[in-house]
Amino acid sequence: MAKKFKISDAPKDPRYVETATLLEPANNSASNQSEAEEIREVSFQLAAIKKKHDDEKKRGNQKQEELEKIRKEIEQCYV
């Protein structure tokens, strides 16, 4: 990295540590790959949550319909 940017005083400074940045071309493919993997994982989790929500919503609607039927039966008993 020091050669790339022609930094001549890098070896003189013991605190200088060469690091790779995300802007380097070598890191782009790995970061894109991990991003794609993360997006895929989040997508699967969201799909599972949505399916669970839909199932619970269906169950709630069924219970509501049953309640309405029972209320109608009770109403007919008192009439």
Which of 47, 65, 43, 66 shows the shortest CA–CA distance to 55? 47
pLDDT-based confidence at 65, cuts 50/70/90? Answer: very high
Please tell me the distance from the alpha carbon of residue 2 to that of residue 6, in angstroms, as a whole number. Answer: 6
Q: What letter would DSSP give residue 6? A: T
Please tell me the distance from the alpha carbon of residue 3 to that of residue 17, in angstroms, as a whole number. Answer: 14
CA atoms within 13 A on the CB side of 55: 6
* pTM confidence score: 0.50
Residue 1 has pLDDT above 60, yes or no: no
| Amino acid code (one letter) for 58 | K
> For 6-35, what is the mean pLDDT?
63
Report pLDDT for 78: 82
Report pLDDT for 70: 95
> For 56-79, what is the mean pLDDT?
94
